[in-house]
Structure 1
Amino acid sequence: MSQVFGDLVQQAKDALERAGIEGAAREARILAAKAADIPVDRASLSFQEVVAREAQSKLEAFIASRVLRMPLSHITGTRAFYTHEFTVTPDVLDPRPETETLIETAFESDFQHVLDLGTGSGCILLSLLAACPDAAGVGTDVSHRALDVALGNAARLELSDRCLFLTSDWYSDVEGQFDLIVSNPPYISAEEMEDLQPELTHEPRQALTDEADGLSAYRKIIPGAGAHLRPQGRLLVEIGWTQADQVAAMFETSGFTNVNVAPDLDGRDRVVGGIWPGVEAIFPQIRPISALFA
């Protein structure tokens, strides 16, 4: 007996609801569409289409993985972020909607050269470059596997000629100066890891937590940024929603001006940013070399 696509969707929905998966109806359409090789945007119009016999076994495997709380993006292999689809694997952090706040904040000022620290899938850097045809950038990560994912995403978005990916522990192998530095570092404390959603156990732990108080990465990124920013360049970092005061204080202590906090769509503190004034602003008593010849 032939099976239609709508049967697969219902089967997936029932199984996901029994497992307590939020958004079961939406996820059921996505999983069934992948199993039946139907574009997700055509799922609602394809309920009466007859599907291939192997779609059933594929869907059963997808459901089994999702019930074990494997992230949906790891099953489908992609995640929608900002205006593009990105390849996602267990080697990179699953891009989340709140990180789009970092993208929107970056667009508040012009930039040509951007550095993305801890790039993962490359979704932040590549989203910025895709929207700014004249910009170029560098993405760094300590994970070779993560950089392979980022390289693949750059190629698929036809951005390879405008970006470079480096294996680097924050700034350790970075040269040059940039108009903009961005980062979504691991900011979950070791204590908080115990209470996170089970889906996060499938993501790289080092991209989530510093195994300490959640602030270790900022203690390296913020003081080190000045050496890699042009005067009036900006540093933007994503934060946990309770960390704004502590991270903003690090910006001010390190010499940044116009330090501000941007909320995400849920109204929670999400991005801290500041402007690097340059050496002359911090040490006004030192005259620029050019002034000696004026």
Structure 2
Amino acid sequence: MKKILAFTLCFLMCLSLFSCEKGTDKMNEKTTDETTYASDKASTSKNNGVNKAPSTQTKPTLSKKELAMKAYIAVLNNERTLKYPLHNSKEFDEIYIKKIYNFGQYNNATQAIIDMDKDGIDEMIVVNNGKKVILHYENDLVYGFDFLYDAMQTLYADGSFSWRHYENNINEYGVSRISFVNGRLKFQELYRNENYHKFYVDGVEVTEEKYYEYIGQNQKTAIEFTPIDMSALNEGKAIELASKHWNIENGSFDEETGYRYRFDAYRDGEKYHVCLYWFVDNTYYENLKCVMVDITTGEISQSNTIHAKG
């Protein structure tokens, strides 16, 4: 009896081992098949362009500070209008900067760039023909504020400025700073005096001693204005306007001669001479015609200038 039981147990154990081994083989077979299928599928998808990773490249975005400078240059070049506050009104006029300067030319114009209201975005102060214009960038708009002569005398590195005012035999001198609220100027007076007899600090009358003590404790550094290089702003624009005027693209070929067109420009005062040439064997061959382009208004007039090059 014991021999029969032992034999039966051995038989069952062998059967169990055989069954497990077979199941493992099936699992391995299945896993191998699935792996091969997945690999083939991935390879096919890649070849068909389906499984390509999406591009992570993005266009570089300009900061608000960079956008402001780009906008100011466009305003100076009369390519963009600015918001100009109307006197004693909440309304704005939308004009080109040339209107503020009575359509005058840029005569030795200078500029200073400084963050006057400490919002992280620079203002540009342009001086031309004795008039200062503050360009302020806000919500993708450019606002312009003009100051005549003594209304803004010296601009300081902290954004404040000195001013002088004469009225009814009262000679006022002071220093203020400004902020911008919804395109409007807001003034904060730091200190001033009237005929050097009355003295004020933060709008409160003080003694002469306290007045000069405050100034001594708050020394300021003047900002230097630098010339505006209008040629750098306008040479390309002048060529572009002449190209549109002639309906000829710079570098295009003349169908009859097979010669390539070339433009040449040089500044003459407040205008550009823009001339059209045929370009042959890497040299200017013949001057065809020239125009004068006003760098402020963009107006085009004919020119009899001939500049033969060869």
- For the aligned pair, the TM-score class normalised by the smaller chain equals under 0.3
TM-score normalized by the length of structure 2: 0.22
Answer with 1 or 2: which has the greater Rg. Answer: 2
Larger RCO (alpha carbons 8 Å, 6+ apart): 1
The structure with more helix, counted as a fraction of residues: 1
